[in-house]
Amino acid sequence: MTVPAPFGKRLKQAREHASLSQKKLGILAGIEESNASAIMNQYERGTHLPKFPLVRNIARALNVPTAYFFSDEDEIAELLMLFGALSDKNQSAVLVDMKESNKVGSYEKDYRGNSINRIHE
């Protein structure tokens, strides 16, 4: 059994969230108008996967982080989408807060709660 790549699912979610048609998104991402709808449909169905430069263009057109398309965990994908919608200043503030909240005693924790390094004060 092949595990489906998350790209198509995430692409469709982000496109629908942005209220764009497949054709309009394809055009915004730089795909020729005559092929845009068919190509985007193939990406959403997982028939084909775009090369990374096109993924970056799609992400920019949808205003989502490129990493969003590759997250197979729904909660992390949602965090990426929400984080990407923040201003640069707010992203920095969130990162500082997250780093501070992960410090436990003299160890820093990774996202799964495992100690990753000793914090030197």
89: left (phi over 0), alpha (psi -120 to 50) or beta: alpha
Q: Where are the domains of the chain?
A: 1-73, 86-121
The CATH superfamily label for domain 1-73 reads lambda repressor-like DNA-binding domains (1.10.260.40)
**Residues whose CB falls within 8 Å of the CB of residue 30, separated by 6 or more in sequence, listed in order:** 54, 57
pLDDT-based confidence at 116, cuts 50/70/90? low
Residue recorded with tokens 């795909």: 31
pLDDT-based confidence at 111, cuts 50/70/90? low
pLDDT in tens, 45-86: 999 999 999 999 999 999 999 999 999 999 999 999 999 999
Q: What is the model's pLDDT at position 121?
A: 46
pLDDT-based confidence at 117, cuts 50/70/90? low
Q: What is the model's pLDDT at position 114?
A: 65
